Amino acid sequence: MSHGLLRWALIPIGLIIFAVGVGFIILARRELARHGQPTDPGKPTREIVKSGVFSTSRNPLYLGIVFLVAGLGLVLNSWWIIIFLVPEIILCHIVLIFPEERYLNSTFGEAYKAYRLSVYRWLGRK
């Protein structure tokens, strides 16, 4: 990856990004627990959680993992970790996110559509 001064500058940046990822994961898990919802993507859900971190990301757990892995790549000085993050994100969409969105759409219909139209998949409000 990089050497010298740049390498040492990337460590604190990576730690911050890693910490942001951990924060997203903790906040998302807490919000799901507060609503009595499972964190396992294979388990059924009874409601759309739109509060807390879910008000700015429809997938804060996956977003947290992306930040965590990217931060780890910087801390460990490994471009390979960051390069492999791209196919991991694509695979996450195919294997997890798209099926979850189909499930939520078929289960909650207009309520999920309204949520989807107000909050971006990864980060931000529309």
The pLDDT value recorded for residue 2 is 52
pLDDT for residue 49 is more than 90 = yes
Collapse the DSSP code of 118 into the 3-class scheme (helix H, G, I; strand E, B; otherwise coil) and give the result. Answer: helix
Whether the Cβ atoms of residue 30 and residue 49 lie closer than 8 Å to each other? no
- Domain assignment present for 79: yes
User: Alpha carbon 88 to chain centroid distance?
Assistant: 12
The total of structural domains in the chain comes to 1
The pLDDT value recorded for residue 7 is 79
- Domain assignment present for 124: no
- Domain assignment present for 64: yes
Residue recorded with tokens 């609503």 = 35
Helix (H) or strand (E) segment spanning residue 73: helix 60-75
Domain coverage including residue 53 = 4-118
Collapse the DSSP code of 90 into the 3-class scheme (helix H, G, I; strand E, B; otherwise coil) and give the result. Answer: helix
pLDDT tens for residues 73-115? 999 999 899 999 999 999 999 999 999 999 999 999 999 999 9
Whether the Cβ atoms of residue 53 and residue 60 lie closer than 8 Å to each other? yes
How far is residue 102's CA from residue 11's CA, in Å, rounded to a whole number? Answer: 39
- Domain assignment present for 27: yes
Mean pLDDT of 116-123: 96
φ/ψ of 6, rounded to 5, equals -60, -40
43 band by pLDDT with thresholds 50, 70 and 90: confident
- Domain assignment present for 123: no
Q: Which residues contact 122 (CB under 8 A, 6 or more apart)?
A: 57, 58, 59, 63
